[in-house]
Structure 1
């Protein structure tokens, strides 16, 4: 045999050895794959979409005017059947008429728009400030000394007292309520994330980043926050419904915003229950508030579970 038959040059490309043959992993693609695997999540997401459409799209075309029939006594406090009999069947009459002669159906969805906007505004501000400051708070020992003292002082002041004072001093507008709920609200979220960061701040990759001269801010944003994505989503899922519930509570005790939110509607319609017994004008906003909070909580919690990489196996 000749040498040419026994041996041949290797033509293998060394760059091929660097290629990964495993399928490309996409974190968010895996999150949504796990999330949509459960049928209950699809149902809840569909309900949430319907709620948002009615809350934001329907009021644009409903022509809602609370005082349009205020001088017509025959239009006030009508049950659905009485309202349909008087005005004919339409979507505006299916929940009856309120104390000012307004359509209860239109009033509820106009209030839902305000309440949902309020909840999301508070959640975005508090979560953004709380997560970023909490990450830095837990990683920087100097910053920890200052913020711990601030938390010990401010954290002992009841949030209801802060909101009440600000509403009385400033006004009861939408902007004032958002400011009152966020001026100290982010601090409690930041403290929660501070404890989470302390658990992982001394891991090897964070120590290596500090040795290489990486700033604390970059370590917090790039190393720590992505690690806690599922925790952030889960906390946001609990925060958003809680703001709606808190707004309803403040309105119920007379400290809510001047805008006709769901809480304000419940507060105003309470008197009809005491006078006339069962009234759709009272139970309608109560039911809508309950549905919104439950749907937001379930969707958020299941999305938080799907955000945990351990569920992507």
Structure 2
């Protein structure tokens, strides 16, 4: 076989000097530098379920805020003559929203039978007192979300400082504080709520305080566990060597590094508080009448579920959507802030 290497001739033109700027371009990192939160948001955006849940919750919260100033009708206004009207929309051609119902085996136009003025209709129907269910559902979602946010605020105000102090101090202080947590957690939440309702007037305030008394325990335990790990890190020891006070160390170093744990636990606490309020209202010791919450709407709807199932379907669907969306978003945030959980 012939060797062609002898035909290749090298000369001065075969060699070209490499410019210094070419070396810089080759070693340059093309990917943009990202902070921890920017990187977490980038990972969160890849989770389609979490992103969809985020926008769904944003829409629900927006509607709840709008309901503070506007609803299709007064949610507490009673029109007994229009009681138990089925759902109806403007054109009335969509099945389930025609305003008709089965009465004694015959399909009856309930709106015509109740002599409802032409042009007046209720998108989700009315309850046993003739109140607009759509307006009450808007108010109910707003009230339930408010209770969830206020109860979660207790987690942040009490649980975060408690967990940081317990984990930072350690020793006897940590032991005593953890024994207090164990005593409080041994008391069932329902017992605490009933005692609070006996001491105070039933309503929003007593329910939030009752849930806040025991709801912060999980947050405190998680924050304490993370603090025990963080306080041994080199940058914390360096801050102590420089003479920074524990308060400044907590603000500048501990809380920023605990933010992922706090955010994730907060997202799990909100639906837990909403569901607990719905449970209390469902059994009759929650939000008093005539105020509407998801629990009170479910309680009213289950009384006539066999004959008027729509009165329970809609609040049940809304609370299910809220619970699932919050949990999917919380799972997405957990994976985004702590990628090791995906392994």
| Normalised-by-shorter TM-score class | 0.7 to 0.9
Q: Which residue of 1 aligns with 2:9?
A: none
Structure having the larger proportion of residues in helix:
1
Structure 2, unaligned stretches of length 5 or more? 1-28, 88-98, 101-109
Aligned partners of 1:140, 1:89: CA distance in 2, in Å? 68
Q: Which residue of 2 aligns with 1:229?
A: 259
SS in 1 for 2:34: coil
- Deviation at 1:115? 0.2
Aligned partners of 2:54, 2:238: CA distance in 1, in Å? 42
Q: Which of 223, 241, 244 matches 2:274? A: 244
Q: Which of 49, 56, 61 matches 1:40? A: 49
Q: Which residue of 2 aligns with 1:10?
A: none
Q: Which residue of 2 aligns with 1:140?
A: 169
Structure 1, unaligned stretches of length 5 or more? 1-19
Q: Classify 1:84/1:159 alpha carbon distance in 2 versus 1 (closer, same or farther; 3 Å).
A: same
Stretches (4+) displaced over 4 A: 20-24, 83-90
Contact 2:67 2:142 in 1 (8 A): no
Q: Classify 1:309/1:26 alpha carbon distance in 2 versus 1 (closer, same or farther; 3 Å).
A: farther
Aligned partners of 2:271, 2:282: CA distance in 1, in Å? 17
* 2:295 is the counterpart of 1:263: yes
Aligned partners of 2:50, 2:217: CA distance in 1, in Å? 31
Q: Classify 1:196/1:96 alpha carbon distance in 2 versus 1 (closer, same or farther; 3 Å).
A: same
Q: Classify 1:33/1:67 alpha carbon distance in 2 versus 1 (closer, same or farther; 3 Å).
A: closer
SS in 2 for 1:153: helix
Q: Which of 139, 145, 168 matches 1:116? A: 145
Aligned positions, number? 287
TM-score normalised over the length of structure 2:
0.75
Q: What's the CA shift string for 1:60-84, capped at 9, x where partnerless?
A: 2225334533442xx1112222366
Aligned partners of 2:150, 2:34: CA distance in 1, in Å? 33
User: Superposed, which structure 2 residues align to 1:1-313 within 5 Å?
Assistant: 23-58=32-67, 60-62=69-71, 64-72=73-81, 75-80=82-87, 81-82=99-100, 86=116, 93-141=122-170, 142-258=172-288, 259-274=291-306, 276=307, 278-308=308-338
Aligned partners of 2:177, 2:128: CA distance in 1, in Å? 49
Aligned partners of 1:234, 1:63: CA distance in 2, in Å? 36
Q: Which residue of 2 aligns with 1:13?
A: none
Aligned partners of 1:206, 1:189: CA distance in 2, in Å? 22
Q: What's the CA shift string for 1:92-150, capped at 9, x where partnerless?
A: 61211111101111111110000011101111221232122211211102531331232
RMSD: 2.6
Aligned partners of 1:37, 1:120: CA distance in 2, in Å? 27
Contact 2:123 2:134 in 1 (8 A): yes
Contact 2:75 2:133 in 1 (8 A): no
Contact 2:239 2:249 in 1 (8 A): yes
Q: Classify 1:162/1:24 alpha carbon distance in 2 versus 1 (closer, same or farther; 3 Å).
A: same
Greater RCO, CA 8 A, separation 6+: 1
- Deviation at 1:88? 5.3
